[in-house]
Amino acid sequence: MKVALQVNGAVSEVDVEPRKTLLDTLREELRLTGAHAGCEHGVCGACTVLVDGAPVRSCLMFAVQADGLDITTIEGLAPAAGELSVLQDSFCETHGLQCGFCTPGMILASHALLEANPEPTRADIVEAISGNICRCTGYGQIVEAVELAAERLRQANAPRALAGGRP
């Protein structure tokens, strides 16, 4: 089936089997390999992408279902090549990762939280990332990263949309 996928602001036409997941399509057809296959049954969250701004398991969605929707992957968060968003930079600052495998999903889930809630409590952050499993960090430095990013975004001397918001 032919599908028009709008990913990170650009539209790509792909021809996929109806049974092909959005995850496999992003990875294999568009070579956007930042979303990862962890469990392929919707528990671990490593495949998280944003669909119309909300975190979605791309392993539980078919590519054909995504036709016409606005998809953001981790590759779409950096403002420019070699330049990190405030949230991505905060993950580096607190070392909110180790092996990096769950990280794109964690960052996208956190990004969606900060878009909706610029002043999240610790409990809000814990809830927002609770659908993403990390085996390395025990989550402590991830929570710190999101707290730091929220603080930096609040303090940024510019509207949020320009200071590391959605691309």
Partner 1 sequence: MNAGAAPFRFVSANRRVREDRRFVAGHGRYVADIALDGMVHVAILGAQHPAARILAIDPSAALALPGVHYVLTGEELAGATDPLMNGLDTPNVRRFPLAVGQTRYAGEWVAAVVADSRALAEDACEKVRVSYERLPYLTHAEEALDPSSPPVHPAHGSNVLLDKPFVWGEVDRHFAESPRRLSFRVTWGRNSTVPIETFGVVASWDPWAEMLDVWASIQMPKYPDQIARALRIPANNVRVHHDVDVGGSYGVKRGIKHTVLAAHLARRLGRPVRLLEDRLENMRGGDAHGPERIFDVDVAFDDAGIVRSMKLRALDNAGAYAGRAPFQLGKPIGAIVGPYKIESVAYRAQSVTTNKAVQEAVRGFGQSPTNYAIETALDQVARACGLDRIEVRRRNFIRKEEFPYLIPSGTRYDSGDYHTVVDKVLAHVDYAALLAERDRLRADGMLAGIGIAACLEPSGGNSAFEPLLNEKNQTTTWMESVRINVDGTGCVAVTIHTTSSGQGHETLAATVVAEVLEIDPDLIRVVRPDSLACLPSNTPVGSRMAIMMGGACFHAAQKLKAKLLRIGAHNLGLAPEAARYHGGSVGAEAGGKALDWAALVNIAHRNFHLLPPDTEPGLGTTHVMQVPTGTSLPKDGRVQMYPCHSFEFHLVLVALDPVLGKPEIRRYVIGHDCGTVINPHIVKGMTLGGIAHGLGAALLEEFVYDEEGQMLTQSFMDYLLPSSHEVPKVEIVHHCTPSPFTVFGQKGSGESGYLGAPAAISGALNDAVADLGLFFDKLPIRISAISDAVAAARVRSSEETTS
Chain residues in the site for partner 1 (CB under 8 A): 17, 19-20, 27-28, 32-41, 43-44, 46, 73-75, 77-78, 84, 88-89, 91-95, 97-104, 107, 122, 125-127, 129-143
Closest approach of Cβ 89 to partner 1, in Å? 8
Nearer to partner 1, 44 or 66 (CB): 44
CB 128 within 8 A of CB 93: no
Gyration radius of the chain over CA positions: 15
CB 37 within 8 A of CB 47: yes
Nearer to partner 1, 66 or 90 (CB): 90
Closest CA to 150 of 163, 140, 134: 163
Helix (H, G, I), strand (E, B) or coil at 114: helix
Vertex 36: Cα angle to 101 and 134 (nearest 5): 40
Closest approach of Cβ 7 to partner 1, in Å? 13
Burial class (CB in 10 A: 0-12, 13-18, 19+), 119: exposed
Closest approach of Cβ 67 to partner 1, in Å? 20
Nearer to partner 1, 68 or 149 (CB): 149
Closest approach of Cβ 123 to partner 1, in Å? 10
Closest approach of Cβ 166 to partner 1, in Å? 16
Nearer to partner 1, 66 or 143 (CB): 143
Vertex 156: Cα angle to 150 and 161 (nearest 5): 80
Cα gap 73→39, rounded to integer Å: 18
Nearer to partner 1, 21 or 66 (CB): 21
